[in-house]
C-alpha cells in the first residue's frame, strides 16, 4: 500500500516534470526549477504524512518533553523554524541563519567560521519557548528539515568523528572512541585504549546496536541519532522538506520561500564516490549486524523514502 503511494507520488512528479519541461516558451528558468522543486517538496510532505499514519508516534507534541525540541532553531525575522541535523549541511544552514538574524554579513556565506556558526546559544530554539508562542510559530512559520540517506549520514559521522584527525575528531575519539574500544575490542593495544583513534566501522556498529545503559549518553549523540528522534516529523508538519541529494535546489526554494533569495547558498562540489564508500564500509559488517543497524534507522528510512539498494543491493525492510 505504501509502495503504491510512493509510486503514485513519483508519477505525479514525473508528470509535472514532463509538462513543465515541455513548455519551451517560458524563459524564466529559475521560476521553472522552483516550481519543480516545490512539487517534489509537496510530494515528500505527503509521503511523510502517509507514513506517519501507518506508524503513529507514541507521543503527542504536548506530551513531548520540551528538551526534545531543542534542535529546532528559530528565526523570527523570516518566520523560519529549522530543525538542524548534524551531517546534513547544517553548518551552511546555521551560517545562513546567522545572516538572516543580522549576526553576520551576507556577502560570503562561507567566510563565517564553522565553529562560530556552531557556538552554543547562537540561536534561540523551540525548547525554551512558552507553549502559546510555540504553537503560534508552529502554525504560522515555515518549518524546514533537510534529510539524508540514514546509512550515508551514519558513515559520514563515523568518518568525520571517529576516523578523522581534525580537532573535533580528537574530541570524539577521546570521549567516545576509547569507550568503544574498551567495550568491543579483544586485546586492544595500549595506544588504542589511550587515544581511541582507530575504532573500526564494525566496532562502531556494535556500539550503536548494543543498547547498554552505561553507553546511553554517547549512543544518543546527535551525530548518529535518527533524524526522526531529533526532528519529530510525525508531530511537526514540515513545510520545506529538503534532501541532501538535492541540497542546492531545496535550499534555493527555502530561501525563496522565506524572502531571502539575495543570499547565495554555497555551491560546494559534491563529494564523490559515496556509493563505493558505502559498499566498502558496510561490506565489513555481517548481514545480521546490518539488519540490527537498519532497525535503528527504519523510521528514517520509511518516513523519508530511502532504501537500502545502494548498501546491500536489496531492501531489508
**At its nearest, how many Å lie between ligand NAG and the CB of residue 95?**
12
- What is the secondary structure of 210-250 as a DSSP string? ---GGGHHHHT-TTTS-HHHHH-TTTS--SEEEEGGGHHHH
How many Å apart are CA 263 and CA 301, to the nearest integer? 31
- Nearest to ligand NAG of 72, 303 (CB atom): 72
- The grid coordinates of residue 161 equal 568523528
**At its nearest, how many Å lie between ligand NAG and the CB of residue 164?**
22
- Nearest to ligand NAG of 39, 127 (CB atom): 127
- Nearest to ligand NAG of 47, 83 (CB atom): 83
**At its nearest, how many Å lie between ligand NAG and the CB of residue 64?**
14
**At its nearest, how many Å lie between ligand NAG and the CB of residue 236?**
16
Q: Give the count of beta carbons closer than 10 Å to the beta carbon of residue 219.
A: 18
Instruction: Map residue 110 onto helix, strand or coil.
Output: helix
How many Å apart are CA 140 and CA 239, to the nearest integer? 11
Question: Where on the chain is the footprint of ligand NAG (CB under 6 A)?
Answer: 70, 78-79, 103-105, 120, 125, 127-128, 183, 190, 210, 212, 258-259
- Nearest to ligand NAG of 211, 267 (CB atom): 211
Cell 518566520 found at:
79
The length of the chain in residues reads 317
**At its nearest, how many Å lie between ligand NAG and the CB of residue 291?**
13
- What is the secondary structure of 144-171 as a DSSP string? EEEE--HHHHHHHHIIIIII--SHHHHH
- Nearest to ligand NAG of 94, 299 (CB atom): 94
Amino acid at each position: 500500500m505504501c509502495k503504491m503511494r510512493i509510486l503514485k507520488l513519483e508519477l505525479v512528479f514525473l508528470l509535472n516534470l514532463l509538462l513543465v519541461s515541455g513548455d519551451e516558451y517560458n524563459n524564466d528558468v529559475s521560476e521553472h526549477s522552483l516550481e519543480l522543486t516545490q512539487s517534489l517538496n509537496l510530494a515528500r510532505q505527503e509521503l511523510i504524512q502517509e507514513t506517519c499514519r501507518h506508524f503513529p508516534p507514541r507521543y503527542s507534541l504536548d506530551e513531548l518533553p520540551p528538551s526534545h525540541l531543542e534542535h529546532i532553531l528559530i528565526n523570527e525575522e523570516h518566520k523560519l523554524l529549522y530543525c538542524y541535523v548534524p551531517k546534513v549541511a547544517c553548518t551552511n544552514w546555521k551560517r545562513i541563519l546567522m545572516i538572516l538574524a543580522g549576526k553576520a554579513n551576507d556577502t560570503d556565506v562561507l567566510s563565517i567560521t564553522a565553529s562560530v556558526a556552531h557556538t552554543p546559544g547562537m540561536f534561540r530554539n523551540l525548547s525554551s519557548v512558552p507553549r502559546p508562542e510555540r504553537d503560534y510559530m508552529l502554525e504560522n512559520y515555515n518549518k524546514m528539515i533537510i534529510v539524508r540517506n540514514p546509512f550515508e549520514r551514519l558513515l559520514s559521522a563515523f568518518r568525520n568523528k571517529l576516523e578523522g584527525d581534525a580537532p573535533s575528531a580528537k574530541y570524539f575519539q577521546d570521549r567516545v572512541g576509547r569507550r568503544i574500544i574498551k567495550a568491543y575490542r579483544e586485546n586492544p593495544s595500549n595506544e588504542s585504549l589511550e587515544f581511541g583513534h582507530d575504532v573500526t566501522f564494525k566496532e562502531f556498529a556494535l556500539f550503536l546496536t548494543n543498547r547498554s545503559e552505561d553507553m546511553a549518553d554517547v549512543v544518543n549523540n546527535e551525530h548518529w541519532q535518527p533524524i526522526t528522534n531529533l526532528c519529530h516529523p510525525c508531530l511537526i508538519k514540515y513545510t520545506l522538506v529538503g534532501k541532501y541529494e538535492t541540497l542546492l535546489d531545496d535550499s534555493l526554494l527555502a530561501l525563496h520561500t522565506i524572502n531571502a533569495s539575495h543570499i547565495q547558498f554555497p555551491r560546494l562540489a559534491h563529494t564523490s564516490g559515496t556509493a563505493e564508500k558505502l559498499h566498502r564500509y558496510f561490506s565489513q559488517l555481517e548481514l545480521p549486524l546490518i539488519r540490527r543497524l537498519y532497525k535503528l534507522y527504519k523510521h528514517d528510512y520509511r518516513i523519508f523514502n530511502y532504501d537500502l539498494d545502494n548498501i546491500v543491493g536489496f531492501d531489508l525492510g
